[in-house]
Structure 1
């Protein structure tokens, strides 16, 4: 079906007509004459953006469908203006073999948005079969075992980086050095605060120094192999600066950009994630690096757990928070307030992601690109409530904050979400096929 968006405002402020046909943007001009077969959407000066690309999600299938499925996660993405997601490998079983990749790829056909599937590195990985598949990246590869061990295992990491470099595959690194973790942080909970313990203690346990040291080591190993290194979820200005100095790209998450220790007491165990929340001055410095351009992209590390699973002792609660539906709305709200430009929001959620991960037909509203589009009214902001979102987990760390949500989301020329309703069936495709 062909669609004409009339009088849309692009991120750079220009007013344009944008026409799509057969899944592709076919015209971007001052005035585009409609075809009789077009569905005409009167944008009336509303903001038209390229669909966001979230390069870091955990949709939990296979293994933990009670937390999230490809259908619920992708619907949540579409409702938040995300039209492409990249799923990370720490599912059950982990995506470390060709067989595990094929199993996940079959489940991913339920996705309402386009997707990539990252492979991982563990003691069980089979690079020969894994690299035979349409792999997006080696995703969230630790300097140890990607099932969770965090000590620096340079031999395994270096071997994985070598294979990725030979295959031309980007390596997305979870950079924390467990040898620098502070075990004395556990003493703060000696009184049995349990689920009410301040999440800032988790930050003391996994300090900022652990991130910067691991980033430096990762980029050093990557440079020796000639590999492309991308640092996942940098939570500190020191980590961002170390990535930039080493020639790596990096991402920041909404929870590290919008939350800090000042939110930790209220969040309690719901504020536990890896890497942890940081101090307010570090959060502010991270935001400054986003605005000024040192941070390449924003990605959510969408890692849903049920409220019941999070409501336990701080030291036993699973790490991770949902975020795929609220990333773009939170950033658009800050642009509405004048704290960041709409062009910068477009770049860190779409254009830069497409460049970093080699998606040449995504991320920009240009003739010939995929018709992945998001329409939103910047003047219509609303309060974020977990009960209004679409993830299986049913809660959000951004409860009560404001966001600008899309009124329409299009994936490959097909409208999948409009005016609060999902439209049609799943249309997502693997971007590496």
Structure 2
């Protein structure tokens, strides 16, 4: 047994939390529990449910020079993320039973729990995927994107229909390439990528994806919405959506400094759109924050705007950045817990995770809400070694637990204990 005493929860209440470490579950939550076993005094500290990052690319198999399950999950643990959902655009892509099984073997190195999404390509094998413990379908690219995962509408419809039959969530990357601005290709400035992949392309694809989803009664989740209209279009039809930290905090105004390190899909938007996206995060319109953690090496990103790969790391800085906003009063701590834990657990069907309640898994994060740290890429644990938030301020965890196992404490790591959340 382990008892965490005098902790402040996200709703502001002060509670003791008792953990059955053998079972990995929360045994009791109360205001004055009898001490049992080891005791941690958390007076003055904030105890949060471990974050669930529903959108990461840990790059294995195929691209271990960018990230591995070991390095990506260590980065997650150091940032207070206790569950990740890995997307299928690896090499080979996770589109059949063999590729899924191979990824599970690699994920044995994970320090945090994980879900694995099945992908959709012209040669995918849905029967094999749905015979495995996949978490969802997606990231399904109804889009032109980095890599070769974009699909035609007929195949998208087929995949959505099959997912609806299995009551599986479909995570959608929504951009309509027909609405990209081809004239922007004559430019070579960092803003060219944002000019090329227009906001209208996202909104149109969100609307079309949601129309198709509604035909089948499917459960659609729109990935990395970067525009206020895209968010509203998803919510108008009952789809869920996520916003990334980079679309929440960064805009085209930052591209002069970031250069090609600020290239991602969808791209950064205007400051006005960013402010409207932030407002929707704060007021409850947005369902969750997910990072789209997509690391590349410095050498790969140090290229022209048209040759640099799209994507930025983010799994370690998501919760610290949000907690800093809560410390400043721009978000409540309760809203942070909704965005990073409670709602992702509900949307993706993880009833044992996401809340500090009796019977739930002891996925917990302990922080000092007043202790801040400057974010430096050299201090982070992703293999890529850089961050678009260099020099920003975050509130980082002192302790991260996965099912009662300490995987990170005061800068030191425990053992890799990650399990598939669908097993």
Match of 2:168 in 1: 169
Contact 1:144 1:154 survives alignment (8 Å): no
- What is the number of residues matched between the two proteins? 421
Match of 2:3 in 1: 4
The CA deviation string for residues 299-325 of structure 1, in whole angstroms up to 9 with x for no partner, is 000000000000011101000000000
1:235 to 203, 206, 226: 226
User: 2-side partners of 1:96 and 1:237: how far apart?
Assistant: 32
Match of 2:307 in 1: 316
The CA deviation string for residues 233-285 of structure 1, in whole angstroms up to 9 with x for no partner, is 00010100000112100000000001001101110000000000000000000
Match of 1:119 in 2: 118
Q: What stretches of structure 1 move > 3 A for 4+ residues in a row?
A: 144-152
Counting only pairs closer than 5 Å after superposition, residues 355-366 of structure 1 correspond to structure 2 as 355-366=346-357
User: 2-side partners of 1:95 and 1:236: how far apart?
Assistant: 29
* 1:406 partner SS: coil
Following TM superposition, by how much is the alpha carbon of 1:144 offset from its aligned partner in structure 2, in angstroms?
A: 5.7
Match of 2:386 in 1: 395
* 2:248 partner SS: helix
Match of 2:367 in 1: 376
User: 2-side partners of 1:224 and 1:99: how far apart?
Assistant: 31
Match of 2:274 in 1: 283
* 1:212 partner SS: helix
Which TM-score applies when normalising by structure 2? 0.98
Contact 2:180 2:201 survives alignment (8 Å): yes
User: 2-side partners of 1:97 and 1:44: how far apart?
Assistant: 49
The CA deviation string for residues 339-385 of structure 1, in whole angstroms up to 9 with x for no partner, is 00000000000001101111111100000000000000010011000
Following TM superposition, by how much is the alpha carbon of 1:186 offset from its aligned partner in structure 2, in angstroms?
A: 1.7
Following TM superposition, by how much is the alpha carbon of 1:188 offset from its aligned partner in structure 2, in angstroms?
A: 2.1
User: 2-side partners of 1:250 and 1:143: how far apart?
Assistant: 15
Match of 2:337 in 1: 346
User: 2-side partners of 1:373 and 1:59: how far apart?
Assistant: 22
Which TM-score applies when normalising by structure 1? 0.96
User: 2-side partners of 1:237 and 1:39: how far apart?
Assistant: 48
User: 2-side partners of 1:363 and 1:421: how far apart?
Assistant: 24
Counting only pairs closer than 5 Å after superposition, residues 204-219 of structure 1 correspond to structure 2 as 204-219=195-210
Gaps of 5+ in 1: 190-196
Following TM superposition, by how much is the alpha carbon of 1:219 offset from its aligned partner in structure 2, in angstroms?
A: 0.5
Contact 1:121 1:145 survives alignment (8 Å): no
Match of 1:58 in 2: 57
Q: Which moved more, 1:50-59 or 1:141-150?
A: 141-150
User: 2-side partners of 1:39 and 1:72: how far apart?
Assistant: 30
User: 1-side partners of 2:3 and 2:196: how far apart?
Assistant: 53
User: 2-side partners of 1:114 and 1:305: how far apart?
Assistant: 23
Match of 1:271 in 2: 262
Following TM superposition, by how much is the alpha carbon of 1:162 offset from its aligned partner in structure 2, in angstroms?
A: 0.6
Match of 2:127 in 1: 128
